[in-house]
């Protein structure tokens, strides 16, 4: 019996390599929560399963119907917009506080953007990304 069947769901699982880990998308599901806490719990279960059955401890990111992927793409687009503003105005911009996974998306989205650099400031839960002009 598969994970979705155990949870009383229909649908299918799509898994792909993502960096050093695995991205798992639960597609076609209707009743599962999509919040970060639920996805984190499923990620933990999947990681423990892989470790116990295959001896490999790899990061697992769980998504539900691609919602996390859409969120990441939107966040990266907004980060690039902010980077353009930073370059045009020549001033730093502090983004709103966000979770570590979202900060990572912003840092990665802007890593190769010329003219800007990023850093994280503050303490959880108010940690935020700062985008500022790169100094050569």
**Residue 81 lies in domain:** 69-133
Residue 37 has pLDDT above 70, yes or no: yes
| 78 and 128 co-located in one domain | yes
Task: Categorize the per-residue pLDDT at 136 as very low, low, confident or very high, splitting at 50, 70 and 90.
Answer: low
The pLDDT assigned to 6 comes to 81
Kindly state the percentage of the chain with pLDDT values over 90: 74
Boundary-marking domain end, from 15, 45, 65: 65
In the chain, the number of structural domains is 2
Which stretches of 11-61 are DSSP H helices? 36-54
Boundary-marking domain end, from 65, 81, 110: 65
CB atoms within 10 A of CB 25: 21
| 7 and 55 co-located in one domain | yes
pLDDT digits (tens, 9 = 90+) for 92-117: 999 999 999 999 999 999 999 999 99
| 28 and 75 co-located in one domain | no
Alpha-carbon distance values, 40 to 34, 76, 97, 116 (Å): 10, 21, 19, 31
| 37 and 81 co-located in one domain | no
| 122 and 79 co-located in one domain | yes
Lowest mean pLDDT among 30-34, 36-40, 51-55: 30-34
Task: Return d(Cα 47, Cα 52) in angstroms, integer.
Answer: 9
| 52 and 75 co-located in one domain | no
| 61 and 73 co-located in one domain | no
| 25 and 46 co-located in one domain | yes
| 114 and 86 co-located in one domain | yes
Task: Categorize the per-residue pLDDT at 3 as very low, low, confident or very high, splitting at 50, 70 and 90.
Answer: confident
| 14 and 56 co-located in one domain | yes
pTM of the full structure: 0.84
| 113 and 59 co-located in one domain | no
| 55 and 9 co-located in one domain | yes
User: Residue 92's domain is classified under what CATH number?
Assistant: 3.30.1370.50
**In whole angstroms, what separates CA 109 from the centre of its chain?**
11
pLDDT digits (tens, 9 = 90+) for 53-91: 999 899 999 999 999 999 999 999 999 999 999 999 999
């Amino acid at each position: 019996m598969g994970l979705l069947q155990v949870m009383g769901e229909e649908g299918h699982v799509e898994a792909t390599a993502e960096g050093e880990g695995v991205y798992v998308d639960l597609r076609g599901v209707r009743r599962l929560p999509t919040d970060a806490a639920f996805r984190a719990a499923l990620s933990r279960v999947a990681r423990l399963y892989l470790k116990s059955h295959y001896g490999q401890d790899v990061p697992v990111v769980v998504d539900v119907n691609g919602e996390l992927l859409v969120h990441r793409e939107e966040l990266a687009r907004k980060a690039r917009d902010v980077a353009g503003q930073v370059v045009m105005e020549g001033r730093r911009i502090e983004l709103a506080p966000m979770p570590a996974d979202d900060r990572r998306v912003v840092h990665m989205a802007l890593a190769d953007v010329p003219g800007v650099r990023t850093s994280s400031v503050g303490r959880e839960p108010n940690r935020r990304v700062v985008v500022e002009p790169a100094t050569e």
